[in-house]
Amino acid sequence: MPELPEVQTIVDDLNRQVRGRRIVGIALDWPKMIQYPAINKRQFAVLTCGRKILRVERRGKYIKFYLSGNILMIIHPKMTGRFLLENGEKPETNYRHSHLKFYLDNSKILAFSDVRKLGKVWIGKIAEVENLANFKNLGPEPLNKSLNLSKFIKLIQFKKRKIKQLLMDQTVIAGIGNIYSDEALWLSKIYPLTLSQDLTKIQLKTLLRAIKSVLKKSLKLRGSSMRDYRDIVGNQGNYYEQRLVYHREGEPCLRCGTKIRRIKIGGRSAHYCPQCQYH
DNA sequence: AATTGTACCTGTCAGC
DNA sequence: TGCTGACAGGTACAAT
């Protein structure tokens, strides 16, 4: 489901709604979602219950919950994971797939719902969890001001990979997925199969600007809801209706009217305009 | 070093 | 009305 704008929207809402709350109980009916360490449901309950949610942060597409007692819990929603804050009075949620629930001290329930059960949880001492390879090896944040053109060029230029795949590689740059890589490449008029080393400096400058601008625009619109994404009160994001090229196969290009094409790159669909994004 | 296929999961939709 | 296959905001891992 979520890429950077969706995850950031969730994190901002969580900070407003659950920051400072104490976890008083949990329910877990899919223990396989606990990726690290190898613990059972009861041990997970011991680790979380009684702790305060001090703050929530985003890194790439990961959601980091800093809990009291120097505990860090990280959740990755993968394709269909979502959070819902529900009232204790009506525990029956319309989210049929809430496999993990946190009962809070204000009698609300923070539920993690995940239809496809691909979402994962990591928990432990802060330093211990932050040292796990998936987090340690993340690339820079695209919206961070320190990611300027010269750094971007260093990340991209000496690799020999298809630019679409590089943009989605979380160890190169963190937070971009299938929607926003398509959008940024359309904005920059770059063909998605172009090898990274063949891009000119001008193209890379345009691409970096496109990445930042499309992510900021989607953030303002609270993300994209193609199907599953919802914010923590169940509302959809508004970027999807305004998308430029993603999932518009056969429709006219918004710039030149040529029919948008879809191809497969590394098992994922890529959408582009064969006229504007020439190679 | 980069690519390809497979695995993890469930739900939806088009086509037969 | 079934059935089947493709596809869906993601990532890890093994094989080539």
| A86-99 confidence digits (pLDDT tens) | 887 655 555 689 99
Residue A68 φ/ψ, nearest 5 degrees: -60, 155
Using the C1' atom of nucleotide B4, identify the protein residue whose alpha carbon is closest: A266
pLDDT in tens, A122-160: 999 999 999 999 999 999 999 999 999 999 999 998 899
Please write the tens of the pLDDT for every residue from A45-59: 999 999 999 999 999
Instruction: Identify the pLDDT of residue A87.
Output: 82
The pLDDT assigned to A157 comes to 86
Strand C, CB < 7 A, residues 140-199 of A: 168, 170, 177-179
A254 sits within 7 Å of strand B by its CB? no
pLDDT attached to residue A93: 53
The number of angstroms, rounded, from the C-alpha of A8 to the middle of its chain's C-alpha atoms is 8
Mean pLDDT for each consecutive 10-residue tract of chain A (279 residues)?
Answer: 95 98 98 97 98 98 98 98 84 74 96 97 98 95 98 94 98 98 98 96 98 98 95 95 97 97 96 93
Give the 3-state secondary structure of residue A24.
strand
The bridge status of strand A34-36 relative to strand A120-125 is parallel
Indicate if CB(A215) is under 7 A from strand C.
no
Distance of alpha carbon A241 from alpha carbon A262, whole angstroms: 18
What is the pTM for the complete model shown? Answer: 0.97
